[in-house]
Amino acid sequence: MDLTMKNIYLIMFCLVYTIQTNAQEIQWEKELSLPPFNNQKSQYQFIIETTDSCYLLTTYTHIDFTDTNVTTIFKIDKNGNEIWKKHFYYEFSEISNFAIKTKLLCEIENGKYLLMNIYLNSPAYHFGYHITILDKNGNLINEYDHIKDSIPFYGDVNCLYYHGFIYAFYLTNSNKNIIIDKYDTSGKLITRKQVDSIEQGKIFMLYNPKIKKDKKLLFTAQVWNSVKIEDSFLYILDNDLNFVEKINLDFNKYVSPDCIELSDSSIIFKTTLNVGVNAPETKRIIFLKYSKDYTKQWEKFTGDSKFDACKSFCPTNDIGFLAGFSRFHFYDNSGYSVSDFHIIKYDSSFTHLWDIKKNNDTLKFIVENILLTKENNFLCLTDVIDTSRNYRNVHVYKISDNTSSVKDETNNYLYCYPPYPVPATNTVRSLIYWDTSLDIENDDIAVYDIFGNKVAGKDKITIDKQNAYSGLLSWDCSNVPDGIYLIRLIHGTETRTM
């Protein structure tokens, strides 16, 4: 048998095409009733999907001219039917100038739910917190009151649940220090860490923390002097609050940045134009895209009116995102405003794919939150105010997204030049090219002998990238016996061997 190595080319041709359809619709709309009080204001709303395929929502309501604050939790099924509803009333008249904000709603271990409310007290600027643990039927399991654990802060407090712990992000020392607290689910402090600080004469503004797909924490902060923004930063930390990276973002004329991570690990920022920077009457909402290596790719303006607002946006499964806009229309004679809302889907290049609109002559809609469900639908949570009756409720919309991607062929190409040298004694190499729609770093690569025994894994193989689509594959073969070996690559849905 002639076992002479021959020139071998491994080719996996690629022709993937997409058919876009615009068959989105509102599947259902549900009204969730809040406590029957007038003069309600300042709602903070969250929505999550539970492990039993239901949805949990919470709203916070402050009743004007009273010391009463109400947090309401709803559990609804996938068709929007209410399963249970719980009200939690808080009255703390002994605390002057206090406010309570619902800052966290999450599912923890064994199907239990955690609600965290933050008590903010000004002008002393201290906060405490109250944690409520419920079972899946809404029954109270535990309450932990840390209202006496007074912590000095400035600005606001943002919280998230991550790897079994609660993280609180806030500022101290007149907005000059960024602090992160790590608590267990009973509210016991585990770690307190100062992440960054700023010199005298400047302050930080801190914005919504998020969890990346690689399980790291990220948040944005801006540095202000007395009149303008000097710097904008993206911070990335591990779950022990160790500093990983600090990236300078190029949008100092924009304020209140929020961000989401798309399915390709790129990041979309949503900001608004600083009204002190010659702001136009329209297009004050700005979206910016940064690649996964934090290189700025584009910057887009939107907004039909200077009164437009975009409080919520979320990623989609097809490397795009959904944004919820509230468009306000003010009527001078009547003394009130009404609004409609637009839910708009964009692809990763900010191409408008579809939108859904909702309006009413006497209702004021504010899109508070948008959730991507496991079924690839969207739940939209809106605060609805009836301006004719000074009455507000919560509406939930389930929106289907039937925009489809039809792949007729799955032929993600990979091209390999002949391996060299032949025979090899130390290292064998091959120049390879691949389709950039798939990340070569995620390929399963291994080496086998002719009997099918694995002799080397991916840790023994390196790919030195020359650019985004080519590189030099190398395998150190110095520690294996003489013989013929097969390098197997799994690229996308195809398996090939050379």
Is 491 domain-assigned? yes
Is 463 domain-assigned? yes
How many whole angstroms separate alpha carbon 40 and alpha carbon 423?
Answer: 80
Preceding peptide of 421 cis, ω within 30°: yes
Q: What is the pLDDT at residue 281?
A: 58
How many whole angstroms separate alpha carbon 358 and alpha carbon 405?
Answer: 27
Partner residues linked to 320 by β-bridges: 347
How many whole angstroms separate alpha carbon 167 and alpha carbon 156?
Answer: 14
How many whole angstroms separate alpha carbon 220 and alpha carbon 312?
Answer: 16
Is 461 domain-assigned? yes
**What is the β-pairing status of strands 229-237 and 254-261?**
unpaired
**Neighbour count for residue 219 (Cβ, 10 Å):** 24
Residue whose pair of structure tokens reads 């975009």 in the numeric block:
310
Q: Which of 153, 87, 85, 86 is nearest to 119 (CA)?
A: 153
**Rounded to an integer, what is the distance from CA 291 to the centroid of its chain?**
15
Tokens linked to 249? 């973002």
Q: What is the pLDDT at residue 97?
A: 55
Is 476 domain-assigned? yes
Mean pLDDT of residues grouped by 10 in the chain (498 residues)? 34 35 73 63 75 87 68 91 88 59 88 87 66 93 77 78 90 86 91 90 88 88 85 90 88 86 91 65 82 90 73 89 79 56 89 83 78 86 69 80 49 69 85 73 83 83 80 87 85 69
Tokens linked to 403? 């925009």
Domain assignment of residue 470, given as a range: 10-16+408-497
Contact 329, 339 (CB under 8 A): yes
Preceding peptide of 315 cis, ω within 30°: no
How many whole angstroms separate alpha carbon 468 and alpha carbon 489?
Answer: 18
State residue 334 phi and psi, 5-degree precision.
Answer: -85, -20
Is 428 domain-assigned? yes
Q: What is the pLDDT at residue 390?
A: 59
Is 423 domain-assigned? yes
The DSSP call for residue 452 is S
Is 130 domain-assigned? no
CATH number of the domain to which 458 belongs: 2.60.40
Q: What is the pLDDT at residue 115?
A: 92
Helices (H) and strands (E) in the chain, counts: 0, 39
How many whole angstroms separate alpha carbon 434 and alpha carbon 386?
Answer: 56
How many whole angstroms separate alpha carbon 275 and alpha carbon 393?
Answer: 31
The type of residue at 408 is D
Q: Confirm whether pTM is higher than 0.85.
A: no
Q: Which of 467, 432, 427 is nearest to 447 (CA)?
A: 427
**Neighbour count for residue 232 (Cβ, 10 Å):** 23
The type of residue at 85 is K
**Rounded to an integer, what is the distance from CA 449 to the centroid of its chain?**
45
Contact 170, 159 (CB under 8 A): no
How many whole angstroms separate alpha carbon 155 and alpha carbon 230?
Answer: 18
**Neighbour count for residue 165 (Cβ, 10 Å):** 15
Could you read off the pLDDT of 180-201 as tens digits, one per residue? 999 999 989 999 999 999 888 8
Q: Which of 394, 398, 377 is nearest to 102 (CA)?
A: 394
Q: How many domains does the chain have?
A: 1
